[in-house]
Structures are given as structure tokens and as C-alpha cells.
Structure 1
């Protein structure tokens, strides 16, 4: 009896591990990249979207070096990108004091929206950033401080009130 339970457990763990690896998004951070010319930023947009999707999907408790490399790749692209500018206003991005690690998911959500939508609306881009931060927070609660602001945003998302809130609180563009 013990032997059959052990075999069943072994098979179950093996099958679950195999199933998990088949659903794991494949992603490798580019080893060599260069952001010297304006065209370089556009050229890397597909890889940036892959980095964003993988980073937001992956748990904070796993692949720490790879997550750091993906974040570095993304941030180097974002800092010089002529097409994407992320606005971080404390009236809207009010969760970084409690969980500073949510600034990257916010920036990733905003950036992905901007890449996919030419002439992106800053209200919708900010909403995409907040939605990414909320999802990342929920996925990684064990690694985060409890955050009432994120939890308020989660309710706004469910009630379809997030964009309205942002439009009232995001200062006019200068």
C-alpha cells in the first residue's frame, strides 16, 4: 500500500512538473543589446513586450537573477525610449512608498499599452500600469506589504471606475 501511494505521488509530481514546464512562457533576456540609435528602441519592442509578459507572469520568489536581468533590460530601454514616456504622479501611483517593487510592473503595464497603441492615451496607459501593478501585487502577496491603495484600485478595476478616478487625479499634461 505504501509503495503504491509513493508511486502515485511520484507520478503526480512528475506530471504536474511536466505540465508546468509546458505552460511556462519561454523567455531569455537578450545577452547583447544596444540602445545607441533612435531605431534601436523600435527594433527591440518585440523583445521588450516578451520581457514584460514574462516578468509580470513570473513569481518574485523564482528566477531572481533572470527577473533582475529582464527588469534591467526593460529599464534601459524605457529610460531612452523616444516613443514611450511613463508618467509617475504620486496622486495616482500612490503605492510605491509601501511597495516600491510595484513601480516596475506599473511602468511595464504603461509601456506595453503605449507600444500596442500608437498615440496612447495617458489615462488608459496609466490604467494599464495600475492594472499590471494590482495583478503583480495579487500574484506576489507573500512578498509584499499589505497595501490599502492597491486594494482600492482592485475594487475600482472590478467596478470599472479606475479610468474615471485617474482622469480626476492625474494632473494635466504640461
Structure 2
């Protein structure tokens, strides 16, 4: 159900094919691009293009990205963060039982730098939700998911979904050429 709502929202953001003349296109873009996105785009258009083009090309390709590609980008970033966070704690799984006990953490913490010791202890405490001294596999997975959602939250995911606003030909895909055109229109030289 949520995916249907997201896809409907994206379709509602698509620019009408008739908005092809310069002034109409600028007006439509300025109306449909949320203030924070427009501000970022205007503040540093090169950075915006680099980041947006990376998503378009990385998860769509030269022909552009569609809504499914954007959802894949969101899932991939969350998976990357989840794996990083799990790795940090699983390095202390000395007996390979997919659980990390306080005793196992003590071994790893003893070899870590002072700053890292504090972080490791904090991560283990955060992961051990029932407070029994052992972060079980289920707790580790929940910890990884929570960290991934914090790293790429709902607002960040929505910002990625807003890339569909740049689908100026309303074909369901955003290309790097469409991004460049919109950025040029919204940031005239001068």
C-alpha cells in the first residue's frame, strides 16, 4: 500500500509534456521543487548535479532512472549502512555463534584505541536491547536496521524520490540531460 502511495505521488510530480517552453518549464520546476531542494540546487548546482547524476547513472544507467531505480538506491544505501554497523559488532563474535557477549566485547575492546573502546561499548549496549549482556542475532539485526534508517531516514528517502520531479518529458525516467537542463534553467549565468 505504501509503495502505491509513493508511486502515485511520483506520478503527480511528473512535469506535463506541454511545459516545454523555457518560461513555463522554469515556473513548473520552481513550483514543484520543494524549497530545501531548490535551495541546495541553487547554492551549489555542481554538487547537486554530481550527487543526482551518481544516483541516476548508478541505479538507472545512461537511459535514466525510474521510481523503481530510486527505491533500489534507497535500499542499497540502507543495506550498506546496515552491513557496516553489523560488521563492527560481528568482529567481536569470537565463537562464531552470531551473538556478541560482554566477554567477547571485552576481548575486542582491550585491543582497541581509547576512542574506539567507548564506541564499541556504546554500540554493544545499544544492540543488547534486553540488557542480558549478549546481543543476539535478532538484536544485532534490529540494531543494524535502526542505524540504517537513522543514516538514511524518511526525509532523505523523500529527497531521493524527488528526483522524479526532473522528468521533464514525462516518460517515467530522469536522465542526466534532464537534470542538466533543469539546473541550467534554474541557475542562469549572470
TM tier relative to shorter chain: under 0.3
Q: TM-score, normalised by structure 2?
A: 0.24
- When Rg is computed on C-alpha atoms for both structures, the one with the higher figure is 2
